[in-house]
Amino acid sequence: MSGIRIFSVGDIPVFVSPFFLLLLLFFGMAQPDATIGILFGVTVTVSLLAHELGHALMAKRFRLQPQILLHGFGGFTSHHPAERDRDDALIVAAGPLSGITLGALAFGARLAVVDVMDPGRGQELLYTFLTLMVQVNVIWTIINLLPIWPLDGGQLTRLLALRLMRPPMADKIVHGLSVALLVVAGYFALTAKMIFLTIIVLMLLFDNVQVLRGERSSGPVRKGTKRARELLKEAEAAFREGRFAEAARIGHHVRDEQVVPREILPRLWTVLGVSEARVGRYEGALAYLDRAPLTPEVVEAKIEVFHMLDRDEELDELLRSPAFEILSPERRAEILAVVRPGWLRDEG
């Protein structure tokens, strides 16, 4: 994990990225004075740790070897894949639960401060710190539970949607809803001139648009080998109908399955490789095409990829190889007319 390991909670390592310090500096400078800035930095750090420890401790319960990273945009807990959607849901929900619990404890402590401590600078600072703790944890928990991927609320929404409908439709709804909410959030962030929030919204918007375009998958679908086969059939149906972006998106779901039968992998690489090429994602397409069997459609896709990426040596090698000969003479002539018209003139 990137970052510097600073300590461990039990056997859960905690890493800190240098960009996290920039985040604290950014927030601190936005406060009215240095003292409040320091208190706010401490509040953010403690709150993020509490939230991520909620995720990590639940993941540890399932023996998933969690790690925590505090980075320039907040916190992140990584762990081995869970075996069940129920386990994932518990791990995700534990973060907001920890945050709201910390906020409630801070609220109770704030009430006690007024009754127990004598008025003075110490009481004022402690009261301010506890007030910030309540505000940060309550506000962040509310935001984090919005159905926006990849926030915790978005992950819980996806897990629920997967129980109610087929994965492709579930992802369309989850990520479509996320995009709609992020557009609204981005408008208000820009209107309020909240630069940091605007950057975060744009990053989340980009992630969700990528999933909707089929460039990446939002997560695994745990239905065993039967589900992998069913999803591949859906991808192949979209492929035959020329809906290549949809075929690629579903194909990525198959790839992310925990169990993918070895015998369906050649079909999967064909769907992903050709579909990625047809929608113009050539670098990604080549990784799949190299693993796919040499069928006419795969050969044509590789020719397109080499041509569009200006990889002339590899293109010439393919055009001179026996693989090119599996295409019909008419199709070979059509391709050469586009990628190597001089060869046809030489033959003539």
* Mean pLDDT score of the chain: 86
pTM for this one? 0.62
Q: Within a 13 Å sphere around the CA of 209, how many CA atoms are in the beta-carbon half?
A: 9
The encoded tokens of residue 140 equal: 């962040």
Of the pLDDT bands very low, low, confident and very high (cuts 50, 70, 90), residue 167 is confident
Q: Which neighbouring-strand residues pair with 247?
A: none
Whether residue 19 is predicted with pLDDT greater than 90 in this model: the reply is no
Higher pLDDT, 342 or 308: 308
DSSP state of 103: H
Tell me the C-alpha distance between 30 and 24, whole Å.
10
Residue boundaries of the structural domains of the chain:
1-145, 148-212, 224-347
Chain centroid offset of residue 206 CA: 10
DSSP state of 118: P
Least confident span in 106-120, 233-247, 269-283, 292-306? 106-120
Whether residue 32 is predicted with pLDDT greater than 80 in this model: the reply is no
Neighbours of 207 (CB within 10 A): 18
Whether residue 42 is predicted with pLDDT greater than 80 in this model: the reply is yes
Cis peptide before 150 (omega within 30 of 0): yes
Tell me the C-alpha distance between 171 and 218, whole Å.
8
Percentage of the chain exceeding pLDDT 90: 45
Give CATH for domain 224-347: 1.25.40.10
Task: Could you list the beta-strand ranges (E) of the chain.
Answer: 4-9, 12-16, 67-71, 74-78
Phi/psi region, residue 43 (left: phi>0; alpha: psi -120 to 50; beta: rest), is alpha
Phi, psi of 74 (to 5 degrees): 130, -130
Whether residue 117 is predicted with pLDDT greater than 80 in this model: the reply is no
